[in-house]
Structure formats: C-alpha cells, structure tokens
Chain A
Amino acid sequence: MSTPQDHLEKLTQSEYKYGFTTEIETETIPKGLNEDIVRIISAKKEEPEWLLEWRLKALAHWKKMVEPKWPNFDYGPIDYQDLYYYAAPKKKPELQSLDEVDPELLETFNKLGISLEEQKRISGVAVDAVFDSVSVATTYKKTLGALGIVFCSFSEAVREHPEIVKKYLGSVVPSTDNFFAALNSAVFSDGSFVFIPKGVRCPMELSTYFRINAAQTGQFERTLIIAEEGAYVSYLEGCTAPQRDENQLHAAVVEIVALDDAQVKYSTVQNWYPGDKNGKGGIYNFVTKRGACRGRNSKISWTQVETGSALTWKYPSCILQGDNSVGEFYSVAVTNNHQKADTGTKMIHIGKNTKSTIISKGISAGLSQNSYRGLVKIMPGAENARNYSQCDSMLMGDKCGAHTFPYIEVKNPTAQLEHEATTSKIGEDQIFYCKQRGLSEEDAVNLIVNGFCKEVFRELPMEFAVEAQKLLEISLENSVG
C-alpha cells in the first residue's frame, strides 16, 4: 500500500496540460521602453494630449524607481528593455469547429462546466451569429445605456467620456504609486471602464465577457470603475478557463471609486499559466488593485480566487475615507508545483466608524510558497474603526510553505481589531475519515478543500462560485485528462 504522502504528492502534482501555443499574428513595435515607445502607443490609440503627458510623467517617474525586492519570493531579473510594450489586438487562428481544438482542453472546459458557445469563443472557433458575443454585448449595451451606465473598453472611454476618465484616472492609484503601477501608467494597453450614475443599481453582473473587444486581455490592463452616489455594481474579472499568454510579465492596475452610499463588488478568478511542473515558464503577475470608499456609507468588496501564474504579487486594497464606509477582502490563493504567491490586502481606515473584514485562505501544494501579506491601518481621525482579519493556510504535502505577514498600525485608541490565523496540514485523519465513509481520496481532498474555502466561495456570484470550486479541484488534481 502506498503511503498517504505519496497519494498527496500525486494528487498535487497536476500539470497545466492545456494551452494554445499556436503561432499568432501580432502587430508589434520595437522592443524596449523609452519616451518614443510611449508616444507611439499613445498615437496608435489616438489619445488626447493630456493622456500622453500623463503617460510620459509616469515613465519619467518609473525610470527613477527600483523594482521592489520585499516580496517573499525570488525570480530572475527582468530586462525591461528586452520586452515588447505594444501589441495590437491579436487574431486567434479561426477554427471551423470544436473538433479542431485540443481534446484535453475541451475536457477541461467540460469539467469547468463552460457552455459550448463559450468554449468556441475561448478557443477561437467561428461562432454562430446568434450567439456571437459581440451581438450579445450589443443587446446588453442597450439595456445598460438606457440606465445611463457606461461599460466599455478603456480606449473607448477615453474617446467618448474623456472628462470622467480625466477626473478619476490615477486618483486612487497615482501613476507614481509603485514600480509596477508606474510602468502600467506609462504603457497600459487597454482595459475596462465602468460608470454607474447616481442612484442606479446595475441590473446585471458586468463581466468582461460582455464587453466588446474584450476577447484579448492585455499584458498591461487598466481598469477604472466609478460608482456615483447610491449606485451599485457587481463586476466580474477573468474566467476559470485556462489562460495562456506568451507575455511573461503582467502588470495591471484597477481603480475603483465609490461615492456616498455606493457599493462595488469586484470578483476575480485568475487562472493564468503557472509554468510547468519544474517551474519553467509561467506568468509573472504584478497587480495593483485599489478602491477608494470616498463617500459616506460606501462599500467596496474584493473577492478573488487565484490559482494561476508562476508569481503573484497582488494586494487588492480599500481606502476607507468616507464615514461608516466598509471594505471587504475575501481571497482564496492556491499554489502548486513551483508557484509563488505573495498576496493580501490593505485596509486604510480614515473616516469614522469605518469597518473592514479580511478573510484569506491560502492553499499550498507541491513545492510552492504561499504568503499572506496584509496591512490594517487606523488613522488618527478614524474614531471607532473596526477590523476583523482571518488568515487560514492549508498545506498539502511536506515540501510547500505557508507564510503570514500581518501588519497593524493603529493611531486611534478607539479602534477594535481582531486577528485570527491558523495553519493546518490537510489532515490524513480527515482523509481517512472520508474514505472510511466510502469517498475516494480525490473526492475527500476536494470536499475538505472546498469546506476550507467556503467562506470565500459564498461571496462569489453563484455561477462563478460553482466554476471556482471546479477550478480548485482541477488545480489540485493529479492528472487533468
């Protein structure tokens, strides 16, 4: 009989077997990063002068900055002059039917419960006119437009709503904020723009799926979400389907602004290529996500399920400026094989009676390292601030690591903070208990892991939650096929 250790190892040594490495036509500009490159990008996008100035300012600042070395992982040096900073929207090879798609990829889609039409869209199969995502998106756009909601690509927003973009761009994440945010500000390609006017409750989940021209997520994405007084929106980013990209470095920026009584719920599922079993390849994901609760009683809620990327550096944060504002962070981060994640959140309490909740679940398997890094900061004016933090780590096997770096700064004596942290090994006792009741080892592990992540999954919109559960199963599965 093999030992439980062997079993766990087998279970956790899954490989990212899918992915499309087909040659893709791209329109690129020369390698390297300098003012000329930024000017070319801006010109190609036909941007107004002020935006070019903004980009150039970011570039000038970026040049003076150094790459942060404090994350709890090492990686080889990135030669920023050896990268391409602009690629026109890529055309995926058009296939005639799903029969031409890698069968393993299809099986993964089926396991994830992705609809046939969605499968076709992701894998580049020509889609029926009726189901064409563009026509679907157009229909939604009409509904949204009637309510005054703007949901479009960032470039389109710059053209159509320059005054709003100008007002809010960089107001939450300044172009000088950090090394990767500055880089993004200089060269960002495209992204999403959402504007919910005063008093409007967005009647549907906004997902990048319904955004025209969103088929290609870029290397340097820029997203801006604005919820005016009393507005509500739930936004979904990413998808559970495996995402492969030949660009190794990703540096996105997401800014959210919530005015009085506004609520924004932002959910992410990230499944970028994590590299192979030996740690070769994989995406470096350096993301700056931040929301500002500017208004009274406003609320911003981040929910993320992170299973992909070789490196993840990501701290979706909330600035709780308005009195009674609320910030939430719910996170599941799974690392396997050689993946490394340093992720968490920052909750900055400025207004009175501000509240924040942090629930972080880290699962490490294989040879991976998974770190939670979080800051809770209570400013002098934040009377009666409250924070509850819970950071749980689960280890699978004995060659991985889980780390927790909680930082707490309190400058007001009325604050109340609670912090709980646990680290557990996935229990052989638990697995044996499940097996004794007739469940297979794989089912037992899935059951235990899903139970562990439940508090986060229940924050996800229903369909996303179901997909996320399946994604975890696959990420921790022995063989994908």
Chain B
Amino acid sequence: MLEIKNLHVQADGNEILKGLSLHVGAGEVHAIMGPNGSGKSTLANVLAGREEYEVTDGSVEFLGKDLLELEPEERAHLGVFLAFQYPVEIPGVNNTYFLKAALNSMRKERGESELDAVDFLKLVREKLKVLHMEESLLSRPVNEGFSGGEKKRNEVFQMAVLEPKLAILDETDSGLDIDALKDVAAGVNALRSPDRGFLVVTHYQRLLDYIVPDFVHVLYKGQIVKSGGKELALELEAKGYSWVEEQALAAESK
C-alpha cells in the first residue's frame, strides 16, 4: 500500500534522508530502528506532510496516489495517521469535541454520515477500555496537563477511533513506563488487521517485544542499511548501533 522510492529530504538546507526506499504491504508491521539523528522522525513527519521538510527527490505512493502532492488533511482522509512523538496541547478544546470533529471530517470525505453525539460516545467508550484510559480524559482539553504516558495513550486512542489504513507511530514508546507501554502495545495490536499497515519508529527494541513486527529496518544516516525479520531487532539490541555503524563504514571503504 505504501511505496517509497529513493526519497531525499532536506530540512534547513541539511539533507536528512538520502535515497530511502521502502515497501509496506497491507497487513504488515514494519519497524524502523536507528540511532538518534538517523532520520527516523523525519520519515514519519514527511509521510504525514509536515511543511518544514523539503522533498528534493524520490516519490511516495500510497494506495495508488502520489502522497507528496497532498495536503496533510488530505493524507489523513486517505487513511494516513501519525501518532506524534510530542503530541501538542490545544488549550480550551475538549478532547471529545476534537476527536469527534476529526472523525466526522473523515467520514464526510468518505461520503459517510456524521456520527451524532450518542453513537460517538458509544464508540469512544469501547476504545477506551482497550487502552485502560480514564473516561475523565475525554472531557479534558486536548493533551493539556496530560502526563507523558497519558499523551501517548491519547494518541493511540485517537488512532483506534479514526481507524487509519496506515498507522505511523513516531517513538510512541519514549517516556513510557512498562504498564503504559503494555497498554499502548495492546491498543496497537488490537488494530492489527489484514488491510492495515503499520510503520513503527523506535529507538529501542523493547517496544517490539509487545508489538511484534514482520519486518525490521535499520536507518542510518538517511538510508536503510539493513533489513530483516523480527530477530534483527534482537541482534541490534545485543550488539548496539555501533555494530551497524561499523558495517556501514566498512561498506563505504570498500
């Protein structure tokens, strides 16, 4: 469903992604791992359409459409969802209200009828259970005063309600304690389905104990330098990123 070819991306004149290619099929979970500064978050944000990044070369096709041509909200309507690494606070805006507006904007685009308050609340309560989230979070302003863990749960909760086709998780595990990590992973696993793809960006292997990937890719200096199955994550954990660096350096010097 997602086809990235030779993607080059700059930010503030620095090239961050240098010819990245990746194929994600429906029903697949891909983990993107890599050391800090390798371009993991850039990839996640470029796919969502963040404007600070400039695509200088390459292409991204999603469900047969040129993703890079589309505005962020159009990508969202197509089914691209980004769970943010740092979810922003929107003071004074009720979490439920926000989510209902988001869901109905998508339903409208898809030609479906908008959900009324009663049906929406029913849907929301089901999803809350999976994530072990307090119902009180619904009536609070979007992310305002949320703990780090609550923010990340809220992201996955939004994902559960919006039911995207491609879910991108940008370091959703960072700053989570083990209980929160398990809840978040349970939320993601509940969404795994044959017609949904996942791109899980993470620094640590830990998350992948709970969200078991079909493929693991190692990103280093803006390129995927190694791909494999879930065992690659364990190997990385054991040997550290320096192992990848050494291999990459060795490849360069040849």
Q: What is the number of residues of chain A that contact chain B, defined by CB distance less than 8 Å?
A: 26
Interface SS majority for chain A: helix
Contact B105 A455 (CB under 8 A): no
Interface-forming stretch among A116-124, A309-317, A424-432?
A: A424-432
When the two chains form their complex, are residues B93 and A448 in contact, meaning their CB atoms are under 8 A apart?
A: yes
Name the one of A438, A448, A450 contacting B105, with C-beta atoms under 8 angstroms. A438
0/1 string, B194-238, CB within 8 A of A gives 1:
000000000000000000000000000000000000000000000
CB distance from A225 to the nearest CB of B (A): 31
Residues of B within 8 A of A427 (CB): 88
Complex CA distance for A430 and B72, rounded to whole angstroms: 13
Is there a chain B Cβ closer than 8 Å to A281's Cβ? Answer: no
Q: Are A430 and B88 in contact (CB under 8 A)?
A: yes
Interface of chain B residues 21 through 60 with chain A (CB within 8 A): 48-51
Chain B CB within 8 A of A22 CB: no
B158 CB-CB contact with A under 8 Å:
yes
Q: Complex Cα distance A480/B63, Å?
A: 36
A433 to B72 Cα, complex, angstroms: 9
With the chains together, A427 CA to B142 CA distance in Å? 14
Q: For B106, what are the chain A residues with a Cβ–Cβ distance below 8 Å? A: 438
A453 CB contacts on chain B under 8 angstroms: 92
Among A183-191, A376-384, A439-447, the one that faces the other chain is A439-447
Contact check, B73 vs A448: say whether CB atoms are below 8 A apart. no
Q: Are B102 and A438 in contact (CB under 8 A)?
A: yes
- B150 nearest CB across to chain A (Å): 16
Decide yes or no whether B149 CB sits under 8 A from chain A: no
B175 contacts the other chain (Cβ, under 8 Å)?
Answer: no
Contact digits for A1-14, partner B, Cβ 8 Å, 1 yes 0 no:
10110000000000
* A435 located at the interface, meaning its Cβ lies under 8 Å from any Cβ of chain B in the complex: yes
Chain-A contact segment, one of B9-17, B76-84, B112-120, B178-186:
B76-84
Residue A17, interface by CB 8 Å: no
- Minimum CB–CB distance for A437 against chain B, Å: 4
What separation, in Å, do the CA atoms of A4 and B50 have in the docked complex?
Answer: 10
CA distance A454 to B93 in the complex (A): 8
Identify which of B81, B92, B98, B101 contacts A455 (C-beta below 8 A): B92
Chain A interface residues toward B at CB < 8 A: 1, 3-4, 427-430, 432-441, 443, 447-448, 450-455
9 A-B pairs besides A443-B105, A451-B90 with CB distance below 8 A are A429-B88, A435-B76, A437-B102, A438-B105, A439-B101, A441-B73, A447-B93, A450-B92, A452-B92
Would you list the 3 A-B pairs with minimal beta carbon distance, nearest first?
Answer: A451-B92, A451-B93, A454-B92
